[in-house]
């Protein structure tokens, strides 16, 4: 037998007050100065009368159950007033004050019991329960719930924390009462739901947003206009309000929509989408909706079954609502959390769920994704690894695969500030919400950003052109160089990569399947480990630079003078060689003497990666004529920049229109600005130097154990590890390098490879990669090389 507490008695007690119509009309007249036509309304615990006054206005006289605490009534009154102030258009009842100015009065029922009497305005309309339910109606229900919770934000009252049997956060307390549920299968399901709530969901609920919510926004408490399908005309009955997780409001409304609709999942999603469109849900919240809807069904079913036993004389409609709860619980459990969550995420525009490691319901649809990818992106589009990596989430230096396994990202330089850095995300989101337009208008974000960017450069590099990618930046820089010099020849490094436009593809030997175009010449890579001139030999810089003389002569012979030398100042596609000091300065001098310009492609080296300087060209002691930026500029938001001298840009723009629809849009600039904030605030350039040196030292320390390691080099957090089969002959270990990439992945670390032989491990993590991450990488590399 149940132990029944006072609180239980309170909610099990269904005995409404029993005033006659005459008594009620006297109360209305004497205390509230209201007269008119009286009609009783249905209520479980209270006694309500509709009053139609002479002037046509409608009111409701509410005579509360004797056990009602005046504090509860005050809670409702204050909440309705708060809503009225915050959103006057929201259709909720207004509080009519008594003649003495109080919001309620006490009245005796002639049997010595006192009841609270109060008056609210009457809202017209029919309850949703009495009209055909449609998705439009449920969407509106979600929306109005969102509007109401927005209006209630910031409201509090001491009674908001009262104990309440329907409180979803206390559902575990109902667990001892489930034995009243007659159907064994339903009982088992409901017990499972309550147990899961207690173990997993209730602890999670503690950290989501809480506020005062209506708490019972269902089809009985929502009014519609039968002549205007889909419209909501009123919300009534604020008797279940409490301070609770905001998302519980969604689940309560959604659970009711589910009962009324054939397609339970669709109706849950429709309510959630409506709510989310007004009051955006957070990711943790959307992932709780499924369990909270289940919990609400479980609560309803348990309370109904319990009451049925304790107070058997209840109206039929209450008993009848028990079985639909069982059916809904069964339906939801059969459909499963993963499917409902996926639908909810899709409709509320959240990315696919990425579980925490070990979650039992992790989606494993990689095979299906590969097939779909081939279908719509073409069968030949390359991907990393023979078995492509399916990632759905990133944070800091970590990527998470579809099963939630964390992988240390030591490959990607685009998220320079770390994957999804909250500061960058926020900047993008806030600017997106405010304005996104183009450079033909005046707006401040582009100017703030351009000023900050040029303050980080040197010389007369003081004007910016904003585009959308590194390729585009290089393409425009190349066009400017040709225009300004009046020359057409291009110089690039062998194996260089500069992008994908037609012009830049010609300047990207690493892409070219056929030979070079006649207007392009390549310079040999200044690689003192494997190149023509090696460590220990004299005048490395000057000897390598002499190749520029040869290239200029060859170009001239082919009928072209050099317009520009475009150089990735980190030499990444050359295998990150240890470029001899003075080499680039010597080459630049020769190019300038031949009338060409220097374009420093900072797509790889820029933004502090090399640890000692913000830009690669600075480490080489140069001032280029143009600087191009891409990849890390926006931490993943598409953004490319060309910075040059005013006279170069002015001359070019005089000749041709220069406009990029998206280039330099306010959102891109907000992203760029936020990236600079993070680099500065988190000391990422210093970190690149310190962690990069630590990492190189750690890898060098394993050289006695692993003869595969021929050379370890690089600057800051750009590390090249050249693998050889024989340290004496330096035979490139290219096949083995690929194997190491796979082994590293198996060991939880992502890296890449580079160099003309593909035998240089490329380690180029987000700059939030710190010592503890370097230790993980070193250990994984140790294990991977041992397994070769």
Residue among 32, 155, 497, 615 that touches ligand PLP (CB under 6 A): 497
Footprint on residues 702-731 left by ligand PLP (CB under 6 A)? none
Q: How far is the CB of 686 from ligand PLP (least distance, A)?
A: 24
Cβ-based burial of 483 (10 A; exposed 0-12, middle 13-18, buried ≥19) = middle
Q: Coil, strand or helix: which one is 83?
A: helix
Compute, in degrees rounded to 10, the torsion defined by CA atoms 691, 640, 493, 521: 180
Taking the complex as a whole, the smallest distance from the CB of residue 281 to ligand PLP amounts, in Å, to 34
Write the DSSP string, 174-205.
GGGGGGG---HHHHHHHHHHHHHIIIIIHHHH
Among 603, 627, 723, 744, binds ligand PLP (CB under 6 A): 603
User: Smallest gap, in angstroms, from Cβ of residue 605 to ligand PLP?
Assistant: 8
Q: 19 or 497, CB closer to ligand PLP?
A: 497
| In the complex, least distance from residue 508 CB atom to ligand PLP, rounded to whole angstroms | 8
Residue nearest to ligand PLP (CB): 470
With CB under 6 A as the contact rule, the residue among 77, 169, 221, 471 that binds ligand PLP is: 471
Structure tokens at 326: 């069982």
| Among the residue ranges 11-19, 22-30, 241-249, 467-475, the one whose residues contact ligand PLP (CB under 6 A) | 467-475
601 binds ligand PLP (CB under 6 A): yes
Determine the size of the site formed for ligand PLP (CB under 6 A): 14
Rounded Cα distance between 360 and 615, Å, is: 46
What DSSP line would sit under 408-472, residue for residue? EE-S--SSTT-BT-HHHHHHHHHHHHH----TTS--HHHHHHHHHHHHTS-TT--EEEEESSHHH
Q: Which is nearer to ligand PLP, 146 or 606 (CB)?
A: 606
- Residue number, 473 or 768, with CB nearest to ligand PLP: 473
Burial label for 196, CB within 10 Å (0-12, 13-18, 19+), is middle
Spatial distance between the Cα atoms of 753 and 148, rounded to a whole number of angstroms: 55
Least separation in angstroms between CB 442 and ligand PLP? 28
Q: Six-digit token pair at 206? A: 């503690």
Q: Which of 509, 546, 499 is nearest to 526 (CA)?
A: 546
Angstrom distance (rounded) from CA 477 to CA 456: 19
| Closer residue to ligand PLP, CB minimum distance, 125 or 755 | 755
Residue 593, Ramachandran bin (φ over 0: left; ψ between -120 and 50: alpha; else beta): alpha
Q: How far is the CB of 476 from ligand PLP (least distance, A)?
A: 12
Contact stretch for ligand PLP (CB under 6 A) within 114-122, 203-211, 320-328, 492-500? 492-500
Q: Which residues pair with 95 in a beta bridge?
A: 120
Q: Please list, residue by residue across 467-477, b when 16 or more beta carbons sit within 10 angstroms of its beta carbon and e when fewer do.
A: bbbbbbbbbbb
Nearest to ligand PLP of 17, 765 (CB atom)? 765
**Which DSSP category does 280 fall into?**
P
In the complex, the smallest distance separating the C-beta of residue 468 from ligand PLP, rounded to whole angstroms, is: 8
Picking from 132, 130, 433, the residue whose alpha carbon sits closest to that of residue 261 is 132
Stretch that binds ligand PLP, among 174-182, 493-501, 733-741, 752-760 (CB under 6 A): 493-501
Q: Which two tokens stand for residue 388?
A: 């492509």
Burial class (CB in 10 A: 0-12, 13-18, 19+), 740: buried
Q: Find all residues with CB under 8 Å of 91, minimum gap 6, and list them.
A: 123, 223, 232, 233, 234, 235
Q: Is 363 helix (H, G, I), strand (E, B) or coil?
A: coil
* Residue closer to ligand PLP (CB basis): 355 or 470: 470
Binder among 261, 431, 474, 665 for ligand PLP (CB under 6 A):
474
Angle of helix 264-278 relative to helix 337-347, nearest 10 degrees, comes to 40
Least distance from C-beta 496 to ligand PLP, angstroms? Answer: 8
For ligand PLP, the closer of residues 470 and 489 by Cβ is 470
- Minimum CB separation of residue 718 from ligand PLP in Å reads 12
| Residue 679 contacts residue 608 (beta carbons within 8 Å) | yes
Q: Is 608 in the site for ligand PLP (CB under 6 A)?
A: no
Q: Judged by CB, which is closer to ligand PLP: 48, or 665?
A: 665
Asked whether 413 and 714 are in contact (CB, 8 A), the reply is no
Q: How far is the CB of 453 from ligand PLP (least distance, A)?
A: 17
What is the closest distance, in whole angstroms, from the C-beta atom of residue 601 to ligand PLP in the complex? 5
As a whole number of angstroms, the distance between CA 230 and CA 136 comes to 5
The number of C-alpha atoms within 13 Å of 59 and in the hemisphere containing its C-beta is 27
Considering the complex, state which of residue 355 and residue 608 has its C-beta at the smaller distance from ligand PLP. Answer: 608
Residue 509 touching ligand PLP (CB under 6 A) = no
Q: Which of 62, 345, 631, 696 binds ligand PLP (CB under 6 A)?
A: 631
Binding segment toward ligand PLP, per CB under 6 A, in 196-204, 247-255, 464-472, 704-712: 464-472
Nearest distance from C-beta of residue 527 to ligand PLP, angstroms: 17
As a whole number of angstroms, the distance between CA 719 and CA 764 comes to 6
Based on its alpha-carbon atoms, the radius of gyration of the chain, rounded to whole angstroms, reads 35
Q: Which stretch binds ligand PLP (CB under 6 A): 221-229, 338-346, 446-454, 463-471?
A: 463-471
> Pick from 93, 499, 608, 616: which binds ligand PLP (CB under 6 A)?
499
Scan for tokens 């509230």, then name that residue. 32
**Chain centre distance of CA 318:** 42
Residue 415 within binding range of ligand PLP, rule CB under 6 A: no
CB of 381 to ligand PLP, least distance (A): 15
Q: Least distance to ligand PLP from the beta carbon of 638, Å?
A: 8
Among 178, 221, 604, 665, the residue binding ligand PLP under the rule CB under 6 A is 604
d(CA 630, CA 333): 48
Query: Is 470 a residue that touches ligand PLP (CB under 6 A)?
Result: yes
DSSP one-letter code for 50: E
| Alpha carbons 257 and 431: distance in angstroms, whole number | 36
* C-alpha–C-alpha distance, residues 62 and 59, integer Å: 10
Instruction: Indicate the residue among 568 and 578 with the shorter CB distance to ligand PLP.
Output: 568
DSSP helix/strand/coil, 746: helix
User: Within 13 Å, how many C-alpha atoms sit on residue 561's CB side?
Assistant: 15
Nearer CB in complex with ligand PLP: 328/767 = 767
Name residue 126's beta-bridge partners: 224
Nearer to ligand PLP, 42 or 513 (CB): 513
Smallest separation (angstroms) from ligand PLP to the CB of 499: 4
CB of 413 to ligand PLP, least distance (A): 8
> Is 121:177 a contact under the CB 8 Å cutoff?
no
The residue (of 104 and 466) whose beta carbon lies closer to ligand PLP is: 466
Binding to ligand PLP by residue 624, rule CB under 6 A? no
Q: How far is the CB of 160 from ligand PLP (least distance, A)?
A: 52
Neighbours of 413 (CB within 10 A): 23
What the block records as the tokens of 694 is 């630590």
Residue 267 or residue 574: which is nearer to ligand PLP going by CB?
574
User: Residues 541-580: x/- map of binding to ligand PLP (CB under 6 A)?
Assistant: ---------------------------x------------
Answer yes or no whether residue 480 interacts with ligand PLP by CB under 6 A: no
Q: Does 498 bind ligand PLP (CB under 6 A)?
A: yes
Segment near ligand PLP (CB under 6 A); pick from 376-384, 390-398, 491-499, 730-738: 491-499
Residue 630 in the binding site for ligand PLP (CB under 6 A): yes
Write down the least CB distance from residue 429 to ligand PLP, Å.
Answer: 23
Judged by the rule CB under 6 A, the positions of this chain that interact with ligand PLP are 469-471, 474, 497-500, 568, 601, 603-604, 630-631
């Amino acid at each position: 037998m149940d132990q029944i507490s006072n609180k239980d008695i309170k909610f099990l007690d269904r005995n409404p007050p029993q005033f006659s119509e005459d008594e009620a009309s006297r109360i209305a007249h004497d205390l509230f100065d209201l007269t008119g036509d009286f009609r009783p309304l249905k209520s479980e615990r209270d006694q309500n009368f509709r009053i139609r006054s002479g002037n046509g206005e409608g009111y409701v006289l509410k005579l509360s159950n004797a056990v009602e605490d005046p504090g509860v009534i005050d809670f409702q009154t204050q909440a309705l007033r708060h809503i009225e102030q915050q959103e006057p258009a929201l259709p909720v009842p207004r509080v009519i004050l008594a003649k003495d100015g109080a919001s309620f009065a006490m009245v005796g029922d002639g049997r010595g019991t006192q009841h609270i009497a109060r008056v609210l305005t009457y809202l017209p309309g029919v309850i949703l329960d009495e009209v055909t339910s449609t998705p439009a109606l449920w969407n509106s229900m979600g929306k109005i719930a969102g509007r109401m919770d927005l209006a209630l934000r910031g409201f509090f009252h001491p009674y908001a924390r009262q104990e309440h049997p329907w409180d979803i956060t206390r559902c575990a307390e109902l667990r001892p009462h489930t034995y009243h549920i007659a159907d064994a299968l339903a009982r088992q399901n409901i017990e499972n739901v309550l147990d899961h709530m207690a173990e997993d969901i209730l602890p999670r609920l503690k950290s989501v947003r809480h506020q005062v919510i209506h708490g019972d926004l269902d089809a009985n408490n929502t009014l519609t206009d039968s002549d205007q399908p889909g419209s909501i005309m009123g919300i009534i009955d604020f008797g279940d309000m409490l301070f609770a997780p905001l998302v519980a409001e969604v689940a309560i409304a959604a659970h009711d929509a589910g009962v009324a609709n054939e397609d339970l999942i669709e109706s849950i999603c429709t309510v959630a989408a409506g709510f989310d469109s007004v009051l955006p849900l957070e990711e943790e919240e959307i992932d709780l909706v499924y369990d909270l809807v289940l919990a609400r069904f479980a609560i309803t079913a348990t309370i109904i079954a319990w009451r049925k036993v304790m107070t058997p004389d209840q109206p039929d409609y209450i008993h009848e609502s028990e079985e639909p709860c069982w059916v809904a619980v069964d339906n939801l459990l059969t459909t499963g959390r993963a499917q409902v969550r996926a639908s909810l995420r899709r409709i509320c525009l959240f990315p696919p769920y990425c579980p925490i490691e070990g979650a039992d319901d992790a989606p494993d649809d990689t095979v299906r994704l590969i097939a779909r990818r081939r279908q719509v992106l073409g069968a030949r589009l390359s991907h990393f690894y023979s078995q492509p990596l399916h990632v759905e989430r990133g944070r800091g230096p970590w990527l998470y695969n579809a099963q939630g396994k964390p992988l240390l990202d030591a490959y990607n330089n685009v998220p320079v500030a770390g994957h999804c850095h909250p500061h960058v995300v926020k900047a993008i989101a806030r600017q997106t919400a405010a304005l996104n337009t183009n450079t033909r208008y005046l707006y401040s974000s582009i100017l703030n950003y351009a000023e900050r960017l040029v303050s980080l450069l040197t010389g007369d590099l003081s004007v910016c052109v904003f585009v959308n990618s590194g390729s585009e930046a290089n393409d425009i820089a190349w066009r400017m160089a040709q225009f300004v010099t009046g020359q057409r020849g291009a110089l690039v490094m062998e194996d260089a990569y500069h992008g994908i436009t037609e012009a830049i593809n010609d300047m990207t030997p690493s892409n070219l399947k056929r030979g070079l175009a006649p207007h392009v010449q390549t310079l040999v890579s200044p690689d003192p480990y494997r190149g023509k001139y090696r460590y220990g030999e004299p005048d490395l810089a000057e000897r390598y630079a002499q190749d520029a003389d040869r290239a200029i002569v060859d170009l001239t012979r082919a009928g072209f003078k050099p317009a520009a030398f475009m150089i990735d100042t980190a030499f990444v596609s050359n295998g990150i060689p240890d470029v001899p000091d003075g080499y680039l300065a010597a080459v630049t001098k020769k190019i300038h003497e031949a009338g060409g310009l220097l374009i420093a492609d900072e797509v790889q080296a820029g933004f502090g990666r090399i640890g000692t300087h913000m830009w690669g060209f600075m480490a080489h002691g140069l001032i280029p004529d143009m600087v191009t930026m891409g990849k890390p500029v926006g931490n993943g938001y598409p953004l490319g920049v060309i910075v040059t001298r005013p006279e170069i840009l002015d001359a070019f723009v005089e000749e041709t229109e220069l406009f990029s629809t998206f280039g330099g849009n306010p959102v891109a600039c907000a992203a760029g600005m936020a990236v600079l904030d993070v680099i500065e605030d988190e000391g990422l350039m210093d970190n690149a130097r310190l962690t990069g040196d630590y990492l190189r030292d750690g890898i060098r320390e394993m050289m006695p154990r692993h003869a595969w390691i021929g050379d370890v080099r690089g600057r800051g957090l750009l590390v090249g590890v050249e693998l050889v089969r024989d340290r004496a002959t330096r035979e490139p270990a290219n096949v083995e390098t690929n194997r190491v990439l796979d082994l590293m992945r198996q060991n939880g670390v992502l890296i890449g490879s580079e160099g003309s032989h593909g035998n240089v491990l490329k380690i180029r993590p987000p700059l939030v990669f710190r010592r503890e991450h370097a230790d993980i990488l070193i250990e994984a590399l140790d294990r991977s090389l041992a397994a070769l």
